[in-house]
Every structure is written in C-alpha cells, then in structure tokens.
Structure 1
Amino acid sequence: MDKKYTIKDIAQMAGVSKGTVDRVLHNRGKVSPAALEKINEVLNVIDYEPNLIARNLKSTKIYRVCVLLPDPAFDPYWLPCVNGIQDAITEFKAYSVIIETHYFNPESTKSFLKVNETIISQSPDAVLLTPLFHKETVEIIKQYDELGIMVNTFNNQVESSSVKSFVGQDLHKSGRVAASLMNLILNKGQIAIIHIDESLKNAVHMQEKEKGFRNYFDEKELSDFSLTTLKLKYSNIETKFTAFLEENPDLSGIFITTSKAYQIASVLSLATTKKIALIGYDLIEKNVNFLNQGKVHFLIHQNQKRQAYLGVSTLVEHFLFRKEFPDTILLPIDIINSENASFYF
C-alpha cells in the first residue's frame, strides 16, 4: 500500500504508453475512451494521489512564486499567514516549484516598495501579495504586468485587470455583518467606527468595512443610531481615544475595522466603567483574552491562514496542472464570541 507508483508503473498496468498516462494525469491532449477507462481503473485500484507520482516526475521548468507579506513582527495578524504558506510549501515540495516569502514593514510604504524591487530582481513567475497600500500596489502591479509576472492578491482586493485571482472575504459584507451584530446588542445610541494605524485614504479594506457598516444602518433606516468615524495612530491611541470618550459621554458602541480591538478594549478597561459594545476583527491572542473577559462582544474571523494557503496553492496548481484561476475565492464570514472561540484554535 505504501508503494509510490510512477507513470511507467501505471502505463504497464493499464497496457498503454507513458505518454497516454501523462496526458490523462495532466489533462492535456486527446485520449481514446478505451485507454482512459483502463487508466482510471488502475488509478482506482492503487488509490492514486498526485503527490505520490509527483516525486518521480521530472520537469525542465522550475516555477518561482514570491509571496509579499506584512511582517508579523509588526502586526501579529499576519502570523497565521506564515503557517498557511508553509502548509503550501510542504504540500508542493515534491514538485519543481520554489515558494519564497518576502516581508515588509506594514507601517512603511518605503519598505513595501523596496521589497518589491527585490522581488522584481529575482524574475519570479508569479507574485502573491496583499494590497495593504492601495496606491503603491496599483503601480507595482503595472510593473509586474509589463515584466510578464503574474499577480494574484489575498486579504484585500484591488481593482486591476492584471490581477488574475483574489482570495479573501467580501469586506463590504463583513461590515454589514458587524452592523447587524451591533444592532442586536444595542437599541439605539452613538457608535464609533475606529480605524487604527493605517491611512484610511490608502486602505481600501478599511473603507469597504466602514461602507458596509454604514450601509446597513442606512438601509434599515435606523435613525436612533448616530455613527462617527475616528482615526487613531498607535503613538496616540490612549490619549486621543480617552479624550474622545470624554467628549462623547453617550458613546454606546464601537466597531474597529482592523485586528487592533485589544488596544481599544485596554483603554476602555481603564477609562470608564460604562459598558460599551465592542466589535472587532481576528483571533489574535490579545483580542481573544478581552473577548473571554467580556470586554469585546464579537470578533469577525477572517481566516488569514486559509487565505494565504489558497492564494499560494491556486498559483502553483495553475502552473503545474494548468488549472484555471477562479476570479474570486470568498471565505465565510465567521462570527466569534466567548462561547465558540476555543474551537478555532
């Protein structure tokens, strides 16, 4: 049962040529119905798995895929992506493909552009990136396109005809989900939509979440609610947000568009005894701690590990097996509270 079958083995067992087996396995060229039936019978008997045969396949072409990822040292949100990429590397290690991860500082456009220069110098076949900085990403994609380098994105979407495929969530819809949760918690009141650390004008993902959130309240005509937008930087979160609380004593709900809910929950724990509904994103440890303490009501899980894995595997399977790209792979919008959070670890 542990035998690793080669194309030659399968050809001998089916009584056909190696070329015919190769065409069936890689879905290329014409094969007669009789030959196809014989090969499929053999594949069923040996419980064929592509990876077992792949170790014995030889290719003159080595594909290089570069992943451009924000450095988890600056933001732990991206750490699961590293694991997702590693899963893809492990899965495809038997094939003629090189998968490399390049990290940039998510707080620096200069770092983002410099790492892209490094990637271009390596002339990869494809790049998987998350368009954290929208303006710079659009320009970079143009460069890749001119050089014949394929580009796919994950986590955040960017409007570009050069991008073949996107993996992530419907961010507008996730904003609406957050709004519907807030409406379940509160009957009325002032709600703050808080963006942390990134430039809102250059961060489409935060814009889409806010649009979805506001769209829900507008569509439902919930006039008993008032919505306010607040932008915060890491260096002044405590002082600026504390001042905001003092200026808005009737604040009853907060929606945070990034993975930094813990920073707001921490300030709330010290600044007020009033119960304020708090909804944020992502299952990073600090967020979950506040979720379990009841300081955060809900977290929306974006499953960034799965996003990164699918982003890489989609590219690799296109090169190796000529699989067509899906335009979009949308992941479910998971709602997490203190009762089900443990199941996601």
Structure 2
Amino acid sequence: MKKYTIKDIAEQAGVSKGTVDRVIHKRGKVSQKALEKVTKILEEIDYKPNPIAQSLKNNKVYLICVVLPDPNEDNFWIPCVDGVNQAIEEFRSFLVDIKLFFYGPSSTQSFKEVNEQILKLTPDAVLLSPLFQKESINAIKSFRSAGIVVSTFNSQIDLEQAVSFVGQDLYQSGRVAAKLMHTIVPDDHDIVICHFSESLSNAIHMQQKEKGFRDYFNGLKGADHKILTLSVDQADPDQSLVNFLKSNNKALGFFVTTSKSYNLVEMLQDQSHKDIKVIGYDLLDKNNDLLKKNKISFLIHQSPKTQTYIGLTYLIEHFLFNKEIPNKKLLPIGIVNSENLITYLES
C-alpha cells in the first residue's frame, strides 16, 4: 500500500503543500474549492497523518511536572520515582521535559509551596498524587485556571478539573481487605481500622478505604464483629496504642489503611500481643519481612510504579500524538501473602 506524502496530495489536488497542511491540521484560511479538492483526495486514500512527524514539526518542548511525596520520608513513593524514570527513558528522543517535585508527606505547607512553584513555571501538564484533599482541590483549580492539564494518581478526587485518574478503586480495596479479615478473625472478636495520619478528615484515600471496609461488614447477615477506628497519635504512637488496647481487649484484627503495617506490628510486639491479625498495604521491605514471618497476614499491592508510569505516559502521548486521555484507569487489587510474595517481587 502506497504511503502518501503531503507533496503527493498537493500535486493531485493542484494546490500548494501549505494548503494541504492547513486542511489536514484545520488551521488557517483555505478557499472552499481547495478545501473540497483536498478533502476528497484525503478520503479516497484514507490519509492518516504521522503523529511523530507532527510532534517534531511543531518543534515545541512539552513541560510536564510530576508532584510526589518525598520518598526519603516515605518509602512507598520510591517505586513511583522508578515509574517516572521509566517513562523518561522511553520518550527521551521526543520533545518532552519531565520534572520531578517532592513535598513532605505530612506537611500541607510543603505541598502548597511546591505547587505554587510549579504554577510559576506554567507547564503544559501536572501529574500529582492528591494526598491532602483540601489543598489538592485548590491546587488543581489553580492549575486548570492557568490552562494546565492535570492528572492524578494513587488517590482519586471527585473534581471535574482533574482530567484523569490512575490507581485502584480504594473503596473496593477496603472491601477486599474486609473480606480477607472476615476469613481470619472469629466472629466474637473486634476488628480495628487503624489510621497512621495527622489528619484523617483531610485524607480522602484513607476515608475511602474505611468506608469500603465498614460497608462490607454492614452488609453481612449475622456477623458479630464490632468495627472500631484507631487514629494513631503521631506524637506518641506507642502510648495511643496501649491506651486503646486497655479499653478494647477483644481486638484481634487490625486493618492498616496505609503502608505503615510494620509500625503497628512493632508496637504490638512490644505489648506482647502475638495473636493479632494484620492486613495492610504495600510491598515495603519491612512489610515484606513481616509477611514472610506471618506477622502480617495479607498486604494489598497498589502497583505504585505502574500508576505513575501509566499516568505520565497518557499525558506524554496526548501532547505528542494527540491521543485522548482516559478519564479513569483502575488497576487490579493485588492480594499478597507469604506464599505468593516472591512472584510480585520478581515481576
């Protein structure tokens, strides 16, 4: 099948190459007669423009900023940096400039300052993890007002201004955790939803997980579990757990809504609680070691590297190749135990 160039089409239509270019890209003025001639030929040959050639011809460098919690303060985000670097490597031959920005995972002020800095750069797009709900909504609105495309990952915010979300259905992952907990905790024991957070009210990802977890048990018939919530005091986590256990001695199952399962297990060991069942998130080294020793029963794998890689790739291909950005991309909810951990670590 012959590959037609703009020159070929111009010769067949009896017009200039510039006229053909204006028709194909729908820009500039073209006479009705020339438009009809060129359009007819394009339809006959089923012409498809070369997106790579187009992106190079535009000679524009697209700036995309990626906003992450600092991986030096929270190891969960290390694979996210790997995902960004993978995308950078794959598109290194194209006119794309990708910049990484880190904020303190427990500091709303740090988050605001980083996004203000990015706003001054006027990038084409921003990919961010909206850890703080209120501040994230304000940042996204500011970006969109400046004409900047915004995509999110890891935590989903119900906001029109965010064009895309890549991650898991966190409500459903909470239900998955509840189903697992129901299989390992006898009906006559209490179950605890454990949050390690400065402000649960501003952490939408933890709220969604708790809601899914509670809704699962609320929908069970004849279940005798009491579902409790523990927000660990970050200033004195050990004492807050001691006080909780003193007044809740029937607590047997703990669902940790973040990657801090290892923190809980370490505190429980100090209190000689050896039969506690723990379900949490993320394949951090400390979590993995405890999973192997069966001190954590299950971990839910959120595929952080894949989240950032896909989210960034969607933005890059949108600018380079004019591809539409999907509104939502939900990743599978991985259930990891001591028996299948190795398969996740090797993948």
User: Structure 2-normalised TM-score?
Assistant: 0.85
CA contact (8 A) 1:59 1:96 kept: no
- Determine the C-alpha separation between the residues in 2 that align with 1:330 and 1:20: 44
Instruction: Please state how far the C-alpha of 1:311 moved relative to its aligned partner.
Output: 0.9
Most deviating of 298-307 and 215-224:
215-224
1:17 lines up with 2:17 in the alignment: no
Residue of structure 1 equivalent to 2:150: 151
RMSD between aligned residues: 2.5
Most deviating of 234-243 and 84-93:
234-243
Residue of structure 2 equivalent to 1:83: 82
Residue of structure 2 equivalent to 1:177: 176
- Determine the C-alpha separation between the residues in 1 that align with 2:322 and 2:237: 49
Q: Residues 220-255 of structure 1, C-alpha deviation per residue, up to 9 Å, x if partnerless?
A: 134310011010133311121122223222111000
Secondary structure in 1 aligned to 2:65?
A: strand
Letter in 2 for 1:202: N
Q: Residues 102-159 of structure 1, C-alpha deviation per residue, up to 9 Å, x if partnerless?
A: 0000110110000011101111011111110100111111111111111110000112
Q: Residues 8-40 of structure 1, C-alpha deviation per residue, up to 9 Å, x if partnerless?
A: xxxxx946325689x9xxx97867477459x99
* Aligned ranges 1:301-320 → 2 under 5 Å: 301-320=301-320
Secondary structure in 2 aligned to 1:166?
A: strand
Instruction: Please state how far the C-alpha of 1:269 moved relative to its aligned partner.
Output: 1.9
- Determine the C-alpha separation between the residues in 2 that align with 1:186 and 1:15: 65
Letter in 2 for 1:333: I
Residue of structure 1 equivalent to 2:296: 296
Most deviating of 197-206 and 297-306:
197-206
Residue of structure 2 equivalent to 1:330: 330
CA contact (8 A) 1:300 1:336 kept: yes
Residue of structure 1 equivalent to 2:285: 285
Q: Residues 30-82 of structure 1, C-alpha deviation per residue, up to 9 Å, x if partnerless?
A: 67477459x99xx9xxxxxx8xx77x944321110001100011110111000
Q: Residues 249-268 of structure 1, C-alpha deviation per residue, up to 9 Å, x if partnerless?
A: 21110000000000001112
Residue of structure 2 equivalent to 1:248: 248
Residue of structure 2 equivalent to 1:46: none
- Determine the C-alpha separation between the residues in 2 that align with 1:95 and 1:246: 60
- Determine the C-alpha separation between the residues in 2 that align with 1:15 and 1:288: 54
Q: Residues 274-315 of structure 1, C-alpha deviation per residue, up to 9 Å, x if partnerless?
A: 411110000011111111111100000000110011110011
Cα pair distance change 1:61/1:231, threshold 3 Å? same
Cα pair distance change 1:19/1:236, threshold 3 Å? farther
CA contact (8 A) 2:198 2:234 kept: no
Letter in 2 for 1:249: N
Secondary structure in 1 aligned to 2:180?
A: helix
CA contact (8 A) 2:76 2:282 kept: yes
Secondary structure in 2 aligned to 1:136?
A: helix
Residue of structure 2 equivalent to 1:112: 111
Letter in 1 for 2:301: H
Secondary structure in 1 aligned to 2:163?
A: strand
Percent of residue pairs bearing the same amino acid type: 45
1:92 lines up with 2:80 in the alignment: no
CA contact (8 A) 1:291 1:337 kept: yes
Instruction: Please state how far the C-alpha of 1:272 moved relative to its aligned partner.
Output: 2.0
Letter in 2 for 1:178: A
- Determine the C-alpha separation between the residues in 2 that align with 1:122 and 1:237: 40
CA contact (8 A) 2:56 2:95 kept: no
* Aligned ranges 1:61-76 → 2 under 5 Å: 61-76=60-75
* Aligned ranges 1:125-136 → 2 under 5 Å: 125-136=124-135
- Determine the C-alpha separation between the residues in 2 that align with 1:243 and 1:250: 14
Letter in 1 for 2:333: I
1:198 lines up with 2:186 in the alignment: no
1:233 lines up with 2:221 in the alignment: no
Secondary structure in 2 aligned to 1:163?
A: coil
- Determine the C-alpha separation between the residues in 2 that align with 1:165 and 1:14: 38
Cα pair distance change 1:28/1:329, threshold 3 Å? farther
Secondary structure in 1 aligned to 2:278?
A: strand
Secondary structure in 1 aligned to 2:316?
A: helix
- Determine the C-alpha separation between the residues in 2 that align with 1:213 and 1:198: 21
Secondary structure in 2 aligned to 1:225?
A: coil
Residue of structure 2 equivalent to 1:275: 275
Letter in 2 for 1:106: P
Stretches of structure 1 that go unaligned for 5 or more consecutive residues are 1-12, 44-49
User: Structure 1-normalised TM-score?
Assistant: 0.86
Residue of structure 2 equivalent to 1:124: 123
- Determine the C-alpha separation between the residues in 1 that align with 2:118 and 2:8: 38
* Aligned ranges 1:24-35 → 2 under 5 Å: 32=42, 35=45
Cα pair distance change 1:339/1:14, threshold 3 Å? same
Instruction: Please state how far the C-alpha of 1:335 moved relative to its aligned partner.
Output: 0.1
Residue of structure 1 equivalent to 2:17: none
- Determine the C-alpha separation between the residues in 1 that align with 2:203 and 2:309: 23
